[in-house]
Amino acid sequence: MKDSSIPLETVTTVGYGDVTPRRADGRIIAAVVMLCGIGFIAVITASVTAGLIESSRRHVAESERDLARRLEDVRERLVRIEAMLDQRQSKA
């Protein structure tokens, strides 16, 4: 009869389950190794995600600056057009 495995094993198993620690100290070591592996994968995933988000944020900020600059150009052109129209109306 197979003895019960620690619940943590389910997170890291590939489905074979051929070799499992039987003594308490082996199970503790296995749990520590599994938690370290899970933590390592989590840190790598978080680092990659943070890099992608930062790149996307910079791209959006650059686009917003470009849009603001273009809107300012349009505003300046409208101000000049309004000034020219005011001059024409005052001459007429």
Examine residue 78 and state whether it is found in any structural domain, yes or no.
yes
For residue 1, pLDDT over 50 is answered with: no
Examine residue 38 and state whether it is found in any structural domain, yes or no.
yes
Examine residue 65 and state whether it is found in any structural domain, yes or no.
yes
What's this model's pTM, rounded to 2 decimal places? 0.56
For residue 58, pLDDT over 70 is answered with: yes
Examine residue 1 and state whether it is found in any structural domain, yes or no.
no
Name the more confident of 88 and 19: 88
- Considering its fold, how many domains does the chain have in total? 1
Concatenating the DSSP letter of every residue in the chain gives: -PPPPPTTHHHH--S-------SHHHHHHHHHHHHHHHHHHHHHHHHHHHHHHHHHHHHHHHHHHHHHHHHHHHHHHHHHHHHHHHHHHHH-
* 39-54: pLDDT as tens digits: 999 999 999 999 999 9
For residue 4, pLDDT over 80 is answered with: no
Examine residue 4 and state whether it is found in any structural domain, yes or no.
no
Examine residue 2 and state whether it is found in any structural domain, yes or no.
no
Examine residue 18 and state whether it is found in any structural domain, yes or no.
yes
For residue 6, pLDDT over 90 is answered with: no
- Domain of residue 68 covers 9-91
